[in-house]
């Protein structure tokens, strides 16, 4: 039966992921009412919009006049046990008399964190936990960071040669990786609330920092420009429906209507302010200075490193002024995945901070 639970949980994950931006800052959740005796899905519910019904309630409503006493509820996140914008889902599940609830992961929200599961067990409902737990945690990693730290999830994207260079000795950087890797980056942009870049990268390349995938939203843009060096006719300031946050300490300028100046002391201060403005995840695409400071201040959660089969020898590395004199003082990561992307390799890793 566990294999069937995993199959249904995977279906929940895929359906929940479709509403990433609509449910924020809530988690992505889907639920299935399943008849084990007939091996039949009775209904599916998805949390589709912040403030509206949670997935469990939608699945129950979709099942209409079903007798739930011999049914199993599959859900990728522990049902809530507290009153928020909607009543507790755990109470509704108990009221409907479900026989069993299969859960992917505990809710990281301190208001829930096991209390929903305890409610179900105390009501005599069989509870199965940890089904595709890693995949469920990956789905809602942004929510977990948001709810536990009140900060956005920060993912660094870099493209380097085999010897970890981001530009030649002559300063050329287009293109280090292949077209397939660049398309992959567009997918990453589509998954994040905002893209961050620094003045050095903007002045050198004048990028648009948009998502070129058809039908996908254009992420907000965060531009680090402490001294106001970037002219407002650059592409990143173009009005295209996205908000542009200009992280700067030079406020003596006339800002375009779509540009929101944000004064900041450091990345922690900046990200806290952006989180309060609804920026829940950030894709970092910037040069060595900002990357190094970001890592030094321990503000990055994850890194996607695209490695091309090229060697530059002399050239620009993607980090600078990050001095580690003892091995046990190194910045530590946990490798997640290594995969081929056409001719390139993608390495993903998560930062491990004490």
Separation between Cα atoms, residue 2 and residue 24, nearest integer Å = 30
What SS3 state is found at 140?
A: coil
The domain boundary residue, chosen from 86, 115, 140: 140
Output the average pLDDT for the chain.
94
pLDDT by residue (tens digit) across 115-132?
Answer: 999 999 999 999 999 999
pLDDT at 328: 92
Q: Is residue 49 part of a domain?
A: yes
Strand partners, 35: 40
pLDDT by residue (tens digit) across 312-321?
Answer: 999 999 998 8
Of 61, 117, 64, the closest CA to residue 94 belongs to 117
Q: Is residue 10 part of a domain?
A: yes
pLDDT by residue (tens digit) across 180-223?
Answer: 999 999 999 999 999 999 998 899 889 999 998 988 989 999 99
Per the structure, the count of domains in the chain is: 2
Exposed/middle/buried for residue 347 (C-beta within 10 Å: 0-12, 13-18, 19+): middle
Residues 122 and 167 both lie in one domain: no
Residues 231 and 119 both lie in one domain: no
Residue 85 has pLDDT above 70, yes or no: no
Q: Is residue 145 part of a domain?
A: no
Which residues, including other chains, have CB under 8 Å from residue 67's CB and lie 6 or more apart?
none
Structure tokens at 223: 């531009």
Residues 103 and 181 both lie in one domain: no
Residues 119 and 154 both lie in one domain: no
* pLDDT category of residue 105 using cuts at 50, 70 and 90: very high
Q: Tell me the residue range of the domain where 185 lies.
A: 150-352
Structure tokens at 78: 């522990």
Place of tokens 């010897």: 163
Residues 157 and 278 both lie in one domain: yes
Report yes or no on whether pTM surpasses 0.85. Answer: yes
Bridge pairing between strands 315-317 and 165-168: antiparallel
Residue 112 has pLDDT above 90, yes or no: no
pLDDT at 261: 96
Residues 132 and 255 both lie in one domain: no
Known catalytic residues are 56
Render 174-219 in DSSP notation, one character per residue.
TTSS-HHHHHHHHHHHHTSSEEEEEHHHHHHH-------STTPPPP
Residues 115 and 196 both lie in one domain: no
Residues 185 and 261 both lie in one domain: yes
Q: Is residue 48 part of a domain?
A: yes
The domain boundary residue, chosen from 140, 174, 205: 140
The CATH number covering residue 51 comes to 3.40.140.10
Residues 256 and 279 both lie in one domain: yes
Residues 225 and 86 both lie in one domain: no
Place of tokens 């990345």: 267
The domain boundary residue, chosen from 117, 140, 163: 140
* pLDDT category of residue 270 using cuts at 50, 70 and 90: very high
Residue 87 has pLDDT above 90, yes or no: no
Place of tokens 């931006």: 21
Render 62-110 in DSSP notation, one character per residue.
HHTT--GGG-EEEEEEPPP-S-SSS--HHHHHHHHT-SEEEEEE----T
Residue 251 has pLDDT above 80, yes or no: yes
Of 153 and 354, more confident: 153
Residues 224 and 296 both lie in one domain: yes
Q: Is residue 324 part of a domain?
A: yes
Exposed/middle/buried for residue 176 (C-beta within 10 Å: 0-12, 13-18, 19+): buried
Which residues, including other chains, have CB under 8 Å from residue 263's CB and lie 6 or more apart?
248, 249, 251
Structure tokens at 236: 């990143």
The CATH number covering residue 280 comes to 3.40.430.10
Indicate the helix (H) or strand (E) that contains 342.
none
Q: Is residue 337 part of a domain?
A: yes
Q: Is residue 114 part of a domain?
A: yes
Residues 130 and 154 both lie in one domain: no
């Amino acid at each position: 039966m566990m294999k069937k639970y995993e199959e249904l949980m995977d279906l929940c994950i895929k359906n929940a992921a479709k509403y990433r931006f609509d449910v924020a800052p809530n988690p992505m959740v889907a639920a299935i009412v399943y008849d084990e005796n007939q091996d039949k899905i009775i209904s599916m519910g998805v949390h589709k919009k912040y403030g509206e019904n949670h997935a469990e309630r939608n699945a129950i409503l979709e099942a209409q006049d079903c007798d739930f006493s011999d049914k199993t509820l599959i859900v990728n996140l522990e049902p809530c046990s507290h009153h928020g914008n909607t009543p507790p889902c755990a109470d509704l599940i108990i009221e409907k008399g479900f026989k069993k609830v299969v859960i992917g992961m505990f809710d990281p929200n301190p208001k829930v964190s096991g209390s929903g599961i305890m409610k179900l067990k105390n009501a005599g409902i069989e509870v199965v936990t940890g089904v595709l737990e890693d995949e469920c945690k990956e789905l809602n990693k942004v929510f977990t960071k948001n709810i536990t730290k009140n900060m956005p999830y920060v993912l660094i994207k870099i493209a380097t040669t085999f010897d970890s260079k981001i530009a030649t000795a002559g300063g050329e950087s287009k293109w280090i990786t292949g077209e397939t890797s660049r398309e992959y980056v567009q997918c990453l942009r589509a998954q994040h609330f905002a893209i961050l870049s620094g003045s050095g990268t903007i002045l050198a390349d004048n990028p648009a920092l948009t998502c070129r995938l058809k039908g996908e939203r254009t992420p907000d843009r965060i531009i680090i420009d402490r001294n106001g060096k970037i002219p407002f006719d650059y592409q990143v300031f173009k009005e295209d429906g996205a908000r542009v946050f200009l992280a700067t300490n030079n406020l003596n300028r006339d800002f375009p209507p779509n540009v929101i100046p944000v004064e900041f002391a450091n990345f922690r201060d900046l990200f806290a302010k952006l989180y309060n403005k609804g920026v829940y995840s950030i894709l970092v695409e910037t040069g060595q200075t900002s990357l190094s400071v970001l890592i030094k201040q321990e503000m990055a959660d994850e890194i996607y490193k695209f490695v091309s089969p090229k060697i530059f020898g002399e050239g620009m590395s993607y980090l600078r002024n990050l001095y580690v004199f003892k091995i046990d003082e190194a910045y530590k990561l946990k490798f997640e995945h290594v995969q081929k992307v056409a001719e390139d390799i993608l390495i993903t890793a998560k930062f491990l901070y004490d």
